[in-house]
A and B are shown apart, each in its own frame.
Chain A
Amino acid sequence: MANKILDIYELKREFTMGSETVRALKGVSFEVEQGEFVTIMGKSGSGKTTLLNILGCLDKPSEGKFLLDGVSIGDLSRNELARIRNQKIGFVFQSYNLLARTSALENVELPLLYNKAIGARERHERAVQSLEAVKLADRLGHLPNQLSGGQQQRVAIARALVNQPVMILADEATGNLDTRTSYEIMALMQELNKQGKTIVFVTHEPDIAAFSSRTITLKDGRVIKDVKNTNIASAAAALAALPAQDDY
């Protein structure tokens, strides 16, 4: 039986805004097993972002059960949450969030700097390996402003991979990219997934969801649809099907 990476049961999250209580999540339950490529979809206001924050251990649920790789997150302190984020989760953001004026290599090394078990040599080696995995081995010394959007996002993915997380958590990771580059990123994601990485991908674009193995749809703080995708589209094939790039 495959390892359960996420085990969520009746998850609730409420915010108090002045005198009003906003119930962003009203009882969400699902499980994600190792090696799955899950997309979470939903309109804005569906509780997608709140769920993402909780999955990323940036926020804690008000109620309900959340086990990440067998660890119950609800009971952890701020510092323990930071350690979980450091060692079990790889974040990929919509706006890349690379440190400016910092080389690709140093950006990728960043998570390892917060892990005291890893020395300088291993840090460097693993950062180089990660960048090789996203096919940026020739851009180690480049600064973010010398890279295209797609390349920057690949650096961000390398940064998410470098700490060998149990799950890659992507938040609208293709939101800032054109179709071609989006497909490139999705092809990379699919490749990583084939290598066994668990990926949770938050998006609102259905065509992106088509590349995943499972789609969970949220609405008004509840799961309204949770379907296995039997017919997974290949991003590499979609990329090849795009018309040749215009030269201008």
Chain B
Amino acid sequence: MNIINIFSIAARALLRNKLRAFLTMLGIIIGVASVITMVAIGQGSKQSIRDQLTTMGSNMITLRPSSNATVGGGARLGASSLQTLTVEDVRAIEAKAQYITNVSPAVSTSGQVINAALNWPTQMQGVSPGYLDIRQWKLQHGTNFTDEDVRTANKVCLIGQTIVESIFSNGEDPIGKYVRFKKIPFKVIGVLEEKGENAFGQDQDDIILAPYTTVQKRLMAITYVQTIYASAVDEQSSDLAVGSISDILRKQHKLKAGEADDFTVRTQAELISTISSTSELLTVLLTAIAGISLIVGGIGIMNIMYVSVTERTKEIGLRMSIGARGIDILLQFLVEAIFISITGGIIGVLLGIAAAKIVTAVFSWPTLISESSIILSFLVCAITGVFFGYYPARNASRLDPIEALRYE
């Protein structure tokens, strides 16, 4: 009995019952297609959340001073009143830290911004030119300020959309205009793209950016910096970057081995992992639902194979009487089951991919078809075929030919 014959016997047997074979396959088709579509939806939403996070600056690292120092009655001081971070710290991080693409100090002060007769209460943030990259902010028009502006503490600024709307009349181009902030005139050289509110409801467009030296010297008369922002090469290296920055800052601040940090480092990683785990859960849930339908499909195969063994008892008896061995019958039924599940699997994969594309096209949900889900569901299919096909096949192979021939 060679393998080709087994296959042709099984193929002929299936072709004799096309409708039944197809209906059995349908369970597997739906199972596999739903696994692939569901996983694609889950993965797609995960990916799109990640993409959005990246544009929000998910690789951003924030450094703030912290201290256990207390005043008067034992109250600890807040970060804003601590003056331990300096421009030198920024330079050291810039020079030595690894896994970092941009570093920017930040100081901010609030006040009224005035243009002719209009004014608006807002915040001016003093930063370095790299800050825009760190926050993934873009200029709508105009230009960013330069290192030269920082060095000379030039009175130039970038303004957000809210500022444009508040102190400029309709259609007026703010570029090149002078606005006053705390009595000092600043030349507007760029307008930031609209960003809307952040997750906490703060208006991210209500802001003026200026070189940090300008804000430090001309507005606040300080030498320290309030916050340091940096961006890691990518999300995954955030932790490594944090370690590197911490080491440099501890050296800068001459902290001894046992002493606590006098600064805190925060990454967006927690945010990312929270959201990722949510969408991970979604993927797991969808996969579980789809997996259940695959098992139901498998049980469908088993059911049909069982019915088929009973229904085809006489056929089995005949095959045995003309020389089929038990193993031939076993293999025939097994190959039939595997053939059904593999063919169903292939159709299911194609259908699943098509369904995922349709979901994207019609509902504009993001989908991501992963090779692993295809391979996995395909393997599950083959295993389902063998697993659910084996038992009925074994029963068939153990029939007594005399009994089987008499069976009506």
Whether both chains belong to one complex is answered with yes
Give me the interface of A with B, judged by CB distance under 8 Å.
Answer: 53, 56, 58-59, 78-79, 82-83, 85-87, 91, 93, 97, 99-102, 106, 110-111, 113-116, 120, 159, 163
A99/B321 contact (C-beta < 8 A), A114-B1, A116-B2 known? no
Query: With contacts A82-B326, A86-B323, A114-B1 known, what are 16 further pairs, Cβ within 8 A?
Result: A56-B321, A78-B326, A85-B322, A86-B322, A93-B318, A97-B317, A99-B16, A99-B315, A101-B16, A101-B17, A102-B16, A114-B322, A114-B328, A116-B5, A159-B322, A163-B322
A115/B323 contact (C-beta < 8 A), A93-B405, A106-B12 known? yes
B401 (CB) vs chain A CBs: closest residue: A58
Of the residues B12, B317, B323, contact of A87 by C-beta under 8 Å: B323
Question: 17 A-B residue contacts at CB 8 Å?
Answer: A53-B402, A58-B405, A78-B326, A82-B320, A82-B325, A85-B320, A85-B323, A97-B317, A99-B315, A100-B16, A101-B17, A113-B8, A114-B319, A114-B324, A114-B328, A115-B323, A120-B4
In the complex, chain B residues whose CB is within 8 Å of the CB of A85: 320-323
- Are B328 and A91 in touch, CB under 8 angstroms? no
In the complex, chain A residues whose CB is within 8 Å of the CB of B327: 79
With an 8 A cutoff between CB atoms, is B9 at the interface?
yes
Within 8 A of A (CB), among B3-38: 4-5, 8-9, 12, 16-17
Least Cβ distance of A31 to chain B in Å? 24
What are the 3 closest A-B residue pairs judged by CB atoms, nearest first?
A86-B323, A82-B325, A111-B322
In the complex, chain B residues whose CB is within 8 Å of the CB of A78: 325-326
- Are A58 and B5 in touch, CB under 8 angstroms? no
Most buried by B among A78, A82, A97, A102: A82
In the complex, chain A residues whose CB is within 8 Å of the CB of B266: none
In the complex, chain B residues whose CB is within 8 Å of the CB of A87: 323
With an 8 A cutoff between CB atoms, is B135 at the interface?
no
In the complex, chain A residues whose CB is within 8 Å of the CB of B187: none
With an 8 A cutoff between CB atoms, is B50 at the interface?
no
Taken together as a complex, chains A and B put the C-alpha atoms of A99 and B14 apart, in Å, by: 13
With an 8 A cutoff between CB atoms, is B314 at the interface?
yes
B406 (CB) vs chain A CBs: closest residue: A49
- Are A114 and B315 in touch, CB under 8 angstroms? no
Taken together as a complex, chains A and B put the C-alpha atoms of A86 and B318 apart, in Å, by: 11
A113/B9 contact (C-beta < 8 A), A58-B402, A99-B315 known? yes
B404 (CB) vs chain A CBs: closest residue: A58
Taken together as a complex, chains A and B put the C-alpha atoms of A83 and B1 apart, in Å, by: 10
For the side of the interface on B, what is the size category?
A: 20 to 34
- Are B324 and A82 in touch, CB under 8 angstroms? yes
Taken together as a complex, chains A and B put the C-alpha atoms of A99 and B405 apart, in Å, by: 13
Least Cβ distance of B311 to chain A in Å? 11
Least Cβ distance of A214 to chain B in Å? 25
Least Cβ distance of A139 to chain B in Å? 18
Least Cβ distance of B180 to chain A in Å? 93
- Are B5 and A102 in touch, CB under 8 angstroms? no
Per-residue 0/1 for B374-407: is the Cβ within 8 Å of any A Cβ (1 yes, 0 no)?
A: 0000000000000000000000000001100100
Most buried by B among A99, A101, A113: A113
Least Cβ distance of A113 to chain B in Å? 5
In the complex, chain A residues whose CB is within 8 Å of the CB of B2: 116
Most buried by A among B1, B2, B17, B323: B323
Of the residues A58, A100, A115, contact of B321 by C-beta under 8 Å: A58
- Are A114 and B326 in touch, CB under 8 angstroms? no
Least Cβ distance of B192 to chain A in Å? 75
- Are A59 and B318 in touch, CB under 8 angstroms? no
In the complex, chain A residues whose CB is within 8 Å of the CB of B322: 85-86, 91, 110-111, 114, 159, 163
Taken together as a complex, chains A and B put the C-alpha atoms of A93 and B318 apart, in Å, by: 10
- Are A91 and B16 in touch, CB under 8 angstroms? no
